[in-house]
Amino acid sequence: MADLVKLTIDGKALEVEPGTLVIDAAKRVGIEVPAFCYWEGLSLQAACRMCLVEVEKAPKLMTACTLPAAEGMVVRTETPQVAQARKSTLEFLLTNHPLDCPVCDAGGECELQDMVFRYGAGESRFQETKYHVEEKQWSPVVFFDRPRCILCFRCVRICDEGLGVRALGIVNRGVTSEIAPNRGDHLECDECGACIDICPVGALNSGIYRYRTRPWEMDHAGTICTHCSNGCKTTLGVRGGTRIIRGNNRDRSGINGEFLCIKGRYAYDFYNHPERLQSPLMRRNGKLEPVSWADALSAVARRFSETKERGGKFAVIGSNHTTNEENYYLQKFARQVLGTGNIDHHRTGDAAALREALQGAPGSLATVSDLYGRKAVLVIGAHLALEQPLLAFTLRANYRHHQARVYVVTEGPVREDKIAAVSVRAERGRELEALESLREPLRGEPELVILFSDAIQGEAVGKLVSFGRSLGIPVQYVCLLDYSNSRGAVDMGLVPGAGGLELDEMKAAQDIDVFWVVGANPFESGRPAAKDAFLVVQDLLPTETVQLADVVLPAASRYEKAGTVTSVTGEVQGFRAAVQVMGAKPDLEIIGLIGKQMGVAAGMGPWSPEAVFEEIRKTVPGYDLPPAVIAAGGAAQAVWSDGAAGGRRRTGTVRSDRNGLFASGTLGRYSKILHSVLESRLDGRS
């Protein structure tokens, strides 16, 4: 490694790696140089001139955002000359700015406002009429108010470089310059809202948030997105403890940094869908009718106890959205109290097969940061940008920053082709054969991360791992899954024990006496074969399965409870409740109350998320993770240890829902924003 470079910034001496920009070096010693166009991780623009600093022996002020630190450099970031320059820059930026801060969504968290406040550019010498352009709506998500735009190009770059979408451009010149959407008068894009969040002012704003609040009136709660398996931290802005106003992750905490896709940023809106279940229901004379919690719980407890006593047959179907604590508690309850091994959930990738294939090779599961840091990545059978948005974003950053070599084996064209060293097209089911053509180039790589979808399942997983071993280089794996706690469901044991029935077998069995469905919609396309079985369902919304139920217990959503989940890359992250919805209870509490009603609570232990997590740490292999890290909003990877993998499929029906960006299984059907985006696509404007 090259020698460090020594420099002084505002009298503070420091050493940095060669090539470090002065603006970043300053940050390390706690000095923030104002910047509108600079954005860590994106290409340099040097368009705004806010970051000007004085450098000794340099004839003019320099832009700290493009200036690499040099040996012996002496930098001053706040001299009268610098302040004057920034003040003048602001005066120019305000030439045509409408100064409509009182009604601007960004008011109170606007970087332009902050800078004008700091440098006191309170007067303008410009007397001319301001150039004005009307506000435009580009999509259900994105609105653009040109007069507020300061042409920093952050939005253009995040969309192009970050998302790989390139939906935004810039047209015209000088004062008439304007950000332009990819379809002339509207946008067709990922609708991720990254451009809106990155905008330093209120020029880009969101259809979901605009005119809903002043920013300082919100409380903020860190939670984990409840949609796909990628595990993005989402900070929800909440009012009055009951209304979610927005989602973002501006503090860059969590494994996703600033990234969120449309689902994490906006699709929390199912929580107050008009059809949300807020009272327990029981079937009376063929109809579901509201009842009290006490009545519902005792009906369930009675049926559970009675069925158990007479040796009846249970089938327990868990969720790939519920928390680790809930999953753990549910399977423990099923095994210990109900005495059944018929436990499963909808599996969307063959994580169990990978776990078995990797026996004896711990450490070979990749984390999100491996996707950013490793030299080569192979994607098999998935359109990453649409199905695994954070992983795709991270891989793109790896390519941009480290020129990672990307290999793609998919059925059709994917967005990753653009960054791929080699893309191979392979029919569904023939991916492993196609892989042979990559053997030689892959052998030449120093290391590799392999991501594979449900295209590789069952025995194929073992073959893939043998292929990996035969390359003679370190290989890490990610088994791609669909939903936010799919990995946790497998790890917590929501899989059949020896002799237990799998999901499809449960649905087909004629002799089930009691179905207990927690946060899943297994009967979406039809009743179970056991028509007379007693069906207990815990869920948020009146799904097809709920319609068939005998007792419905209204459950709290992810955003209304605390706990932990495990992402597709094995990172365990915690979250706390953001809002409360009247009538609904967390699944953990519901299970606990059923146990209490049955008189078995003592044997099950307390049902607080913290207590259950402690038990998970002690009993679930790989989960002995530091509670302090998780409580502080950090992530720790659960590494599979050797030992019984359990839950291998017999029926071979691991199936991904291939949701894409604007769907999210049953839950997605209740999101207004996902609907409105889909409708805007269908209304023929494309």
Partner 1 sequence: MLSAAEREEIEQVLKHYPVRDSVAIDALKIVQRHRGWISDETLKEVADFIGMTPADLDGVATFYNLLFRKPVGRHVIALCDSVSCWIMGYEGIREYLSSKLGVGYGQTTADGRFTLLPIVCLGACDRAPVLMVDGDTYGGLTPAGLDGILERYR
Interacting residue ranges for ligand SF4, rule: CB under 6 A: 142, 149-155, 158-159, 163, 165, 167-168, 179, 187, 189-195, 198-201, 203-204, 225, 227-228, 230-232, 256, 260-261, 263-264, 389-390
Between residues 171 and 498, which has the closer beta carbon with respect to partner 1?
A: 171
Partner interacting with residue 63 (select from partner 1, ligand FES, ligand SF4, none; CB below 5-8 Å by kind)? ligand FES
Q: Which of 60, 173, 287, 310 binds partner 1 (CB under 8 A)?
A: 173
Pattern 413-452, binding to partner 1, x per CB under 8 A? ----------------------------------------
Q: Which of 2, 171, 602, 628 binds partner 1 (CB under 8 A)?
A: 171
How far apart are CB 34 and ligand FES at their closest, in Å?
8
Between residues 47 and 83, which has the closer beta carbon with respect to ligand FES?
A: 47
| Structure tokens, 180 | 């332009």
Q: Which DSSP state fits 656?
A: -
H helices within 176-261, ranges in order? 194-198
Q: How far from each other are the two terminal CA atoms of the chain, in whole angstroms?
A: 52
Which own/partner pairs from 657-663 qualify as long-range (CB within 8 Å, at least 24 positions apart)?
Answer: 657/348, 657/482, 658/387, 659/228, 659/387, 659/482, 660/383, 660/386, 660/387, 661/190, 661/191, 661/192, 661/261, 661/262, 661/263, 661/386, 661/389, 662/191, 662/262
- Interface residues toward ligand FES, by CB under 6 A: 35-38, 46-51, 63, 65
Q: Are 395 and 404 within 8 A, CB to CB?
A: yes
Count interface residues toward partner 1 (CB under 8 A). Answer: 12
Task: Please identify, among the stretches 180-188, 273-281, 327-335, 444-452, the one whose residues bind partner 1 according to the rule CB under 8 A.
Answer: 180-188
169 binds partner 1 (CB under 8 A): yes
Q: Beta strand pairing status for 168-171 and 514-518?
A: unpaired
Q: Beta strand pairing status for 287-290 and 376-380?
A: unpaired
Contacts of 362 (CB under 8 A, 6+ apart): 639, 640, 641, 642
CA angle 614–620–622, rounded 5-degree value = 100
Partner interacting with residue 48 (select from partner 1, ligand SF4, ligand FES, none; CB below 5-8 Å by kind)? ligand FES
Between residues 49 and 649, which has the closer beta carbon with respect to ligand FES?
A: 49
How far apart are CB 101 and ligand SF4 at their closest, in Å?
15
Q: Which of 8, 66, 88, 182 binds partner 1 (CB under 8 A)?
A: 182
| Structure tokens, 594 | 């059923």
Partner interacting with residue 180 (select from partner 1, ligand SF4, ligand FES, none; CB below 5-8 Å by kind)? partner 1
Give the CA distances from residue 400 to residues 25, 372, 377, 393, 505, in Å, rounded to whole numbers and listed in that order: 21, 10, 14, 11, 47
For the sheet with 448-452, list strands across it: 420-425, 405-410, 376-380, 448-452, 475-479
Give dist(CA 99, CA 56) in Å, integer. 36
- Amino acid letter at 663? A
Where does residue 654 fall: left (phi above 0), alpha (psi -120 to 50 degrees), or beta otherwise?
beta
Partner interacting with residue 263 (select from ligand SF4, partner 1, ligand FES, none; CB below 5-8 Å by kind)? ligand SF4
Between residues 63 and 342, which has the closer beta carbon with respect to ligand SF4?
A: 63
469 binds partner 1 (CB under 8 A): no
φ/ψ of residue 378, rounded to 5: -120, 125
Between residues 331 and 676, which has the closer beta carbon with respect to ligand SF4?
A: 676
Partner interacting with residue 173 (select from partner 1, ligand SF4, ligand FES, none; CB below 5-8 Å by kind)? partner 1
How far apart are CB 390 and partner 1 at their closest, in Å?
23
Q: Which of 167, 225, 299, 638 binds partner 1 (CB under 8 A)?
A: 167
How far apart are CB 168 and ligand SF4 at their closest, in Å?
5
How far apart are CB 181 and partner 1 at their closest, in Å?
7
Between residues 21 and 551, which has the closer beta carbon with respect to ligand FES?
A: 21
Q: Where are the beta strands (DSSP E) in 176-334?
A: 178-181, 204-206, 219-224, 233-239, 243-248, 281-284, 287-290, 314-317
Cβ-based neighbour number of residue 672 at 10 Å:
16
- At 187 the three-state DSSP class reads coil
Give dist(CA 185, CA 531) in Å, integer. 54
Task: Please identify, among the stretches 26-34, 121-129, 173-181, 407-415, the one whose residues bind partner 1 according to the rule CB under 8 A.
Answer: 173-181
Between residues 181 and 622, which has the closer beta carbon with respect to partner 1?
A: 181
C-alpha torsion sign, points 412, 416, 418, 424: negative
Task: Please identify, among the stretches 18-26, 50-58, 168-176, 315-323, the one whose residues bind partner 1 according to the rule CB under 8 A.
Answer: 168-176
Q: Are 151 and 201 within 8 A, CB to CB?
A: no
Between residues 227 and 332, which has the closer beta carbon with respect to ligand SF4?
A: 227
Between residues 22 and 236, which has the closer beta carbon with respect to ligand FES?
A: 22
- Amino acid letter at 107? G
How far apart are CB 460 and ligand FES at their closest, in Å?
50
Task: Please identify, among the stretches 44-52, 171-179, 465-473, 596-604, the one whose residues bind partner 1 according to the rule CB under 8 A.
Answer: 171-179
196 binds partner 1 (CB under 8 A): no
Between residues 194 and 594, which has the closer beta carbon with respect to ligand SF4?
A: 194
* Interacting residues toward partner 1 by CB under 8 A: 166-173, 180-182, 184
